[in-house]
Structures are given as structure tokens and as C-alpha cells.
Amino acid sequence: MTEHTPNSIAFVAADTPSAREAAQHLAALYGQTSLAQAAVIVALGGDGFMLQTLRETMGTGQPIYGMNRGTIGFLMNEFSEHDLHERIAAAVPETIRPLEMVAVDANGRTTTALAINEVSLFRQSYQAAKLDILVDGRKRLDDLICDGVMVATPAGSTAYNLSAHGPILPLDAPLLALTPVSPFRPRRWRGALLPNRSTVTFEVLEAGKRPVNAVADNEEVKSVISVTVREAPDATATILFDPSHSWDERILTEQFRY
């Protein structure tokens, strides 16, 4: 295992002028360590770049401290060039547990991918998707007709899941959100909260007539016939939040917005 030098920081930046400029300035102030040797990785950008950095460093044990150089920055801390070592030392660590997607397409090919936010199924054409949903091998819903459906982690619950009127989950909640997108039948079904030990299987009905794509964060598989989703058994990543702007505080703030 690589030994990380105490207080060493690797700055990584999104491909935007403001993020690159911030990374260069901070590296001049605090020094730049290689990714392999860094004790902490500071990610400069928005939420999408934070997710990319978490995926790329999954399993290394290196915590990620994000500073917002993007737009919303829900997963990021406020940007400041001052007292960075002190801020990192005082930060609160949260463990991110990604989902594992196993998708089988119409040609029988199997694709496995990890998702930090959500695994989603979407209709591929003008025809609505038609799905059966099984939880731990037991069929729980027949003939869901919808534009799509997703399984979201607590980290992803404030992203697309929230836009689809799914619930916001505390980061340490042992839960997954199962949320439909524009359900047509059954019209009143609004999803479910599942224990994070659950395995969810989607079976695509009438796949030739109603083709469906599956997406694990940003990895897409076209024309799937079945998709199985569970919490990845071994992969984890650590994200650092300032105590004054903790994940719990962000969750509460988001729920009281109007």
C-alpha cells in the first residue's frame, strides 16, 4: 500500500477556467503532491467533478475535500484559499458507498458498473417503459409503465432523485430510494424506501417494442432486458465536509426550501 505523506495535498480541477486557476493558485500556496502520495485530495469544481474524483479514487483510502468552483456544489465546501490545512483537519468525514449495477442487454452481454448517485432506467423511444420490479428475488410490482425508474444512494438522493420527487436521505441512513420517473401505471405509485442491503432487479417487458437504457451515473447500457442493483459490497470512498456546512445541515436546508 502506498504511504501518504502527512498534510500532503493533491489538487485536481475540473476543466473550467475558474477551477484550473484556483488549483494553480492553491498549489503555489500549499504545494502539489502526486495523487499516489497525497494524504488528501482537494477537488475544485462542481458536483459532477466531485463524483468523477470519487470514482477515480475509489478504494484508495484517500479522503476527498471539495471546494466549489462550479454551480450548485451540493457536495462541495465553500471556496477559500485561507487556512486549508486547518479546514481539512477539522472536516467531518462521510463514507460514500456506491451501487453496483449488473445490466444484461438484448444481445446477452453483461455490463457491470458502479454508481455513486443512482442507477437509472429510461425509455429509449417514444414508447413508455414497461417493467417488473423484484426486491431480493420477490416480485413487488407488476407492469410499471413509466418514463423511467431509479435506485438512488443517500449521496445521490439530492440529485436526479430529488428532481423526480424522491425522498432526501441522510448520508449515513442505511437506505436506498426507489423512485419512478413519470409513472403512468400504477398512477399513484411514488416509489419506496429500501434497506441498503436489498437487491433490486428490473425486468424489462416487451423489450423489442419498448426499448430501455440503463445508466450507472454516467455509464450507459442500451437496450437492456434486465438490470440488477445492489450496494457494492467492498467499494467505498470518503468525502470531507466543513463542520459549519455539514451534510446533515445541507439536508435540512434543502428540505425547507420552497
Q: In sequence order, which ranges of the chain are alpha helices (DSSP H)?
A: 17-30, 47-56, 84-90, 160-163, 247-255
Q: Report yes or no: 55 and 231 within 8 Å, Cβ to Cβ.
A: no
Q: Report yes or no: 8 and 34 within 8 Å, Cβ to Cβ.
A: no
Q: Is the dihedral of CA 162, 165, 169, 174 positive or negative?
A: negative
Phi first, then psi: what are they for 35, rounded to 5°?
A: -55, -40
Catalytic pick among 15, 47, 147, 242: 47
Q: Which of helix, strand or coil describes residue 245?
A: helix
Q: Report yes or no: 231 and 116 within 8 Å, Cβ to Cβ.
A: no
Hey, what's the cell of 14? 475540473
Which of 159, 134, 133, 167 lies closest to 148 in space, CA to CA?
133
Distance of CA 247 to the CA centre of its chain: 14
Active site includes 234? no
Which residues are catalytic, by number?
47
